């Protein structure tokens, strides 16, 4: 379901992508950081920043290292990633773990 949601997101079919990711999250028991991050990113793409931020924060706290940052496409989260790249090396294994910290500091 992860790939199906990503395909729909890539095609700009955001509502369908959200439905797919929400179903996948329910099936995974809401503990899959990758699915939560994809869902958050898709919400951000349709301008729903509040649920996007909540979901991304949850994904990061569950397992930031498993989130595929190269699959994040929303300007909201891309700006945060790009800004953090100025502070930390993206190749650092702990890079993603700093995202919620700096996101809070920077008010994202």
Per-residue pLDDT of the chain (108 residues; tens, 9 = 90+): 999 999 999 999 999 999 999 999 999 988 899 999 999 999 999 999 999 999 999 999 999 989 999 999 999 999 999 999 998 888 888 898 888 888 888 877
pLDDT at position 87 is 87
Quick one: pLDDT at residue 92?
Answer: 85
pLDDT at 100: 85
Fold for 2-105, please state it. 1.25.40
Domain parsing of the chain, residue ranges: 2-105
In angstroms, the CA 45 to CA 13 distance is 10
d(CA 62, CA 35): 11
Q: How far apart are CA 48 and CA 14, in angstroms?
A: 11
């Amino acid at each position: 379901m992860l790939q199906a949601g990503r395909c729909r997101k890539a095609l700009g079919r955001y509502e369908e992508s959200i439905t797919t990711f929400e179903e996948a999250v329910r099936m995974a028991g809401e503990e899959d950081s990758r699915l939560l991050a994809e869902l958050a990113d898709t919400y951000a793409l349709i301008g729903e920043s509040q649920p996007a931020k909540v979901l991304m924060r949850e994904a990061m706290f569950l397992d930031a290292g498993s989130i595929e940052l190269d699959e994040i496409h929303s300007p909201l989260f891309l700006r945060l990633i790009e800004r953090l790249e100025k502070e930390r090396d993206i190749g650092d294994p702990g890079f993603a773990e700093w995202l919620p910290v700096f996101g809070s500091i920077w008010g994202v």
